[in-house]
Chains A and B, each alone.
Chain A
Amino acid sequence: MFGYVLPYKEALTDEQWQAYHAAYCGLCHGLKERYGFLAQFLLNYDFTFLTMLLRREEGAPEQRCLRCVSAPVRGRNACVQESVNELAADCSMLLMYWKLRDQLADERGFRKLPALFLLILYRRAFRRAAQNAPACSRSIEENLRALGELERQNSPSIDRTADRFARILSDLTPSDWPLGQRRATEQLLYHLGRWIYLIDAWDDLKEDFRKRDYNPIISRFGLTREALEQAPGIEAREEMDRTLRHSENLAISAFHLGSFGYYAPIIENILCAGLPMVRQMVFSGQWKKRHRIKKQELNRQ
């Protein structure tokens, strides 16, 4: 996925931050163990959120200090015993696979090559992921196919397109959870997925204009590149901001109705503070520049 689902660090205690970090490292080790060294490149914040939300074990997770590429000497604490890491790893692999298949179908000539290369490189991992998580594989395949169809029709609906992506996430809810907990989790994941799809669409607006690619927001508001700087663009901006805030609110109100154990305070932080922070950065254009800005900050220090 895309890495938009971050915590707001200022509002986390040190302990909570360490716990988040250990979950992140745990998933990284999980990916490596299950699918090899190359799979670690698929690690991102969105899936870390999923491991916290869909965790099955009760109480505090066991942490182990493990060495890795980014901490070769001292090592870092990682939650490696969590069964949910496997599901998150499978799902990362499968999403990547279908995204590449999509690219392969859409691009022409030489531009097919990067996708083809990666598909060959990861081919065995993909096959194994589909065997490990057949339900997840079916859901991703079905929904991304339908999404591709909507994109080809140049669908003007942000709801229908986002719905397909949102369903991939809500389908990850374990079917053996009690009904109330399951409904709350499904709703939370649905609106998180909707949010991710739409924030990514906004973030890609300029690039999609340039490449003349499909973008649900361009189709929905009939935007032109010039209009984006002027009045009609402002209307689209307001509408998108409002609908994204609404999805945040629906995810939060669903969160209050489930019980999410050990990671609940961190999940609450991400939904109540992390998502608004990222949304504001994407809308102000700072999100795209974040790596550059961070470098400047580091140089100044």
Chain B
Amino acid sequence: MNDPYSVLGISPSATDEEVKQAYRKLARKYHPDNYQDNPLADLAEEKMKEINEAYEAITRMRAGGSATQASSSGYQSRSTGGNSSYNGYRQQRGTTNPLYAQVRSAINAGDIRRAEDLLVQAPATDAEFYFLQGSIAYRKGWLDEANANFQRAVSMEPGNVEYRQAYNMMQQGGRAYRSEGYGTGMDTMDCCTALMCMNCLCGGGRC
């Protein structure tokens, strides 16, 4: 395993508080909510695992076997056992249709072409069909088509939590971690200051 301190991006002389802060920051960055239905979700999950292991290793080292220290360390308790809430990348999805189950497993394996080929064989176009069509579009980066399909799935089956979650994510415009300073404030940035920042590189003119 890599040096747990370098995984968290801190020096071995960091205080317990600094360790905790570094861990929390990274845990927010790679949180499954930021990678919902994302084609790179597996990479984020790996990162999350690395971070959890590094944090665990450091707290274990520092506690020196003392149980009270370990249990008081914030996120620690959740990350033990490898099945923490942060490892919630694999969502449980219920389907009764065997074809749809195949489509889902192709999507999860990242084989989008196979998922598409399977889905066209579907005999009916029900809510789940549109949901899966939306999921395929989303993984290709076709956000407008994904949105239209999720919307249709929700309108056909308003009570389905899975469809609603996907549609809500589209309505939000997706999610990503931004470090401090690049927070949501950027969206209300004053355009006049923005103009001033667009200082031209070659002495005032376009090169």
B interface footprint on A17-35 (CB within 8 Å = 1, 0 otherwise): 0000100110010000000
Count class of interface residues, chain B: 35 or more
Query: In the complex, how many angstroms separate the beta carbon of A235 from the nearest chain B beta carbon?
Result: 13
Asked if B141 contacts A277 (CB within 8 A), the reply is no
| Known contacts A11-B181, A24-B201, A268-B179, A276 near B144 by CB under 8 Å | no
A256 to B9, CA, bound (A): 14
B interface footprint on A208-239 (CB within 8 Å = 1, 0 otherwise): 00000000000010000000000000000001
Query: In the complex, how many angstroms separate the beta carbon of A186 from the nearest chain B beta carbon?
Result: 10
Asked if A246 contacts B173 (CB within 8 A), the reply is yes
Residue of A nearest to B188 (CB): A280
Quick check: is B132 within 8 A (CB to CB) of the other chain? no
A207 to B178, CA, bound (A): 35
Asked if B44 contacts A243 (CB within 8 A), the reply is no
Query: In the complex, how many angstroms separate the beta carbon of A89 from the nearest chain B beta carbon?
Result: 14
A127 to B67, CA, bound (A): 70
Quick check: is B176 within 8 A (CB to CB) of the other chain? yes
Asked if B174 contacts A194 (CB within 8 A), the reply is no
B interface footprint on A26-51 (CB within 8 Å = 1, 0 otherwise): 00100000000000110100000000
Our pick among A9, A10, A43, A245 for the contact of B173 (Cβ within 8 Å) is A245
A interface footprint on B91-128 (CB within 8 Å = 1, 0 otherwise): 00000000000000000000000000000000000000
| Known contacts A183-B40, A290-B198, A293-B195, A70 near B144 by CB under 8 Å | no
A136 to B159, CA, bound (A): 48
Which B residues are CB-close (under 8 A) to A269? 182
Which B residues are CB-close (under 8 A) to A191? 141
Asked if B197 contacts A253 (CB within 8 A), the reply is no
Which A residues are CB-close (under 8 A) to B30? 256
Asked if A294 contacts B195 (CB within 8 A), the reply is yes
Which B residues are CB-close (under 8 A) to A157? 144-145
B interface footprint on A173-194 (CB within 8 Å = 1, 0 otherwise): 0000000100110010011001
Our pick among B43, B137, B143, B182 for the contact of A272 (Cβ within 8 Å) is B182
A interface footprint on B165-207 (CB within 8 Å = 1, 0 otherwise): 0000011011111110110001101010111111111111101
Asked if B143 contacts A10 (CB within 8 A), the reply is no
Quick check: is B90 within 8 A (CB to CB) of the other chain? no
Quick check: is B34 within 8 A (CB to CB) of the other chain? yes
Which A residues are CB-close (under 8 A) to B171? 242
Asked if A187 contacts B39 (CB within 8 A), the reply is yes
| Known contacts A250-B38, A284-B191, A256 near B177 by CB under 8 Å | yes
| Known contacts A43-B207, A187-B39, A257-B43, A159 near B194 by CB under 8 Å | no
Which B residues are CB-close (under 8 A) to A239? 144
Q: How many residues does chain A have at the interface if contact means C-beta atoms less than 8 Å apart?
A: 59
| Known contacts A160-B142, A290-B198, A253 near B35 by CB under 8 Å | yes
| Known contacts A10-B197, A246-B170, A294-B198, A187 near B144 by CB under 8 Å | no
Interface centre among A11, A43, A160, A280 (most CB of B within 10 A): A280
Our pick among B43, B194, B203 for the contact of A183 (Cβ within 8 Å) is B43
Asked if A180 contacts B174 (CB within 8 A), the reply is no
A250 to B195, CA, bound (A): 26
A276 to B205, CA, bound (A): 23
| Known contacts A250-B174, A280-B189, A281-B191, A6 near B141 by CB under 8 Å | no
B interface footprint on A265-283 (CB within 8 Å = 1, 0 otherwise): 0001100110011001100
Asked if B191 contacts A286 (CB within 8 A), the reply is yes
Query: In the complex, how many angstroms separate the beta carbon of B74 from the nearest chain A beta carbon?
Result: 21
A269 to B189, CA, bound (A): 14
| Known contacts A159-B137, A253-B40, A220 near B144 by CB under 8 Å | yes
Residues of B near any A CB (own CB < 8 A): 29-30, 34-35, 38-40, 43-44, 46-47, 137, 140-145, 147, 170-171, 173-179, 181-182, 186-187, 189, 191, 193-205, 207
| New A-B pairs, 8, CB < 8 Å, besides A163-B140, A248-B176, A272-B178 | A9-B197, A159-B145, A247-B141, A252-B178, A253-B38, A253-B176, A256-B29, A298-B204
Q: Jot down 11 A-B pairs with beta carbons below 8 A, ordered by A.
A: A8-B189, A11-B182, A24-B201, A25-B201, A69-B207, A70-B203, A159-B137, A257-B43, A272-B179, A280-B194, A294-B200
